[in-house]
């Protein structure tokens, strides 16, 4: 942990805008890093869903949160579970959990903004 902190402090001193140390897993590790590089913002990879929530990380002083590949792996997990269900019993019941196209269209149109000019 001392090497991680010394490197992050060096990056902060060199002018880094945001600091990131992959592999921080405990609240004590995160607190140590946040206090060592303050007031620079710290980015944390949310890897432990048992305690890492937005509020918990913000309460530790984290100012940026990444999820890495977790959203993609969640989607692949749902895909594989449905494929296994279809293969196992020929049922398509798992497809009922799919997000409706109308909801997806609403979400993506909201992200796109107004590009009418």
pLDDT tens readout for residues 47-92: 898 999 999 999 999 999 999 999 999 999 999 999 999 999 999 9
Looking at domain 2-66, its CATH architecture is Alpha-Beta Barrel (3.20)
Measured CA angle at 13 (ends 9, 15), to 5 deg: 120
In this model, does residue 111 exceed pLDDT 90?
no
Delimiting residues of CATH 3.20.20.70 domain(s) in the chain: 2-66
Tens digit of each residue's pLDDT (9 = 90 or more) over 20-32: 988 899 999 999 9
């Amino acid at each position: 942990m001392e090497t991680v902190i010394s490197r992050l402090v060096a990056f902060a001193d060199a002018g880094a805008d945001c600091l990131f140390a992959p592999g921080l897993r405990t609240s004590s590790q995160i607190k140590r890093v946040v206090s060592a590089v303050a007031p620079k913002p710290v980015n944390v990879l949310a890897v432990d869903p048992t305690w890492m929530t937005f509020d918990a990380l913000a309460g530790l002083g984290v100012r940026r949160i990444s999820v890495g590949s977790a959203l993609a792996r969640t989607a692949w997990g749902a895909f594989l579970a449905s494929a296994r269900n279809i293969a196992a019993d020929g049922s398509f019941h798992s497809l009922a959990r799919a997000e409706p196209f109308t909801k997806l269209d609403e979400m993506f149109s909201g992200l796109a903004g107004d590009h009418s000019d």
